[in-house]
Structure 1
Amino acid sequence: MTTGANRIMDEFAKLMTDAAGAAQGVRKEIETAFNAQAERWLNTLDIVKREEFEVVREMAIKARDENDALLARIAALEEKLAAKGK
């Protein structure tokens, strides 16, 4: 009799494990489908991706730094030119 009860419990445990695995698989499929749909929707909104934004941001920072350096060079050259003119 104990063997029968243990067998039923083992079968029940196996069934629950299989059900949990199936539920996890379904969850992953739903997440994948949701992410794909969300990406399609975002692509229609003309929104830039974070990676693209970061690249452009870095380019803007570099351009600003170069602009500041060029402005400093121009000021130094104008100062030098003004000193020669006196």
Structure 2
Amino acid sequence: MTTGPSRIFDEFAKLMTDAAGAAQGFKKEAETAFHAQADRWLNSLDLVKREEFEAVKEMAVKARDENDALKARIEALEARLAAQD
């Protein structure tokens, strides 16, 4: 059995190792709790995810382009009708 200063250092090293493990566990629990609370808070704000926003934005651009093309087509048809009169 180890005695004297060597045993004290061994016990101190074990204590520090245990303390470091406990600190890491606490850090992980605190991060998990923080992320869960942040998720709940963000969900309560009724925000839209970036991917969903970009998808809807793309759909709106496509719809606007289609509307512009249809408007030009209608104007061309109206001009042909007016020319026939």
Distance in 2, Cα, partners of 1:42 & 1:51 = 16
| Pair 16,81 (structure 1): closer, same or farther in 2 beyond 3 Å | farther
TM-score, length-normalised on structure 1? 0.63
Unmatched tracts of structure 1, length 5 or more: 1-11
Question: How far apart are residue 39 of structure 1 and its match?
Answer: 1.3
CA distances 1:13-68 after superposition (whole Å, capped 9, x unpaired) = 9x988877775665454333322211111111111111111111111111111110
Unmatched tracts of structure 2, length 5 or more: 1-11
Q: CA RMSD in A?
A: 2.9
Indicate the percent of aligned positions where both proteins have the same amino acid: 78
Distance in 2, Cα, partners of 1:16 & 1:68 = 71
Distance in 1, Cα, partners of 2:67 & 2:77 = 15
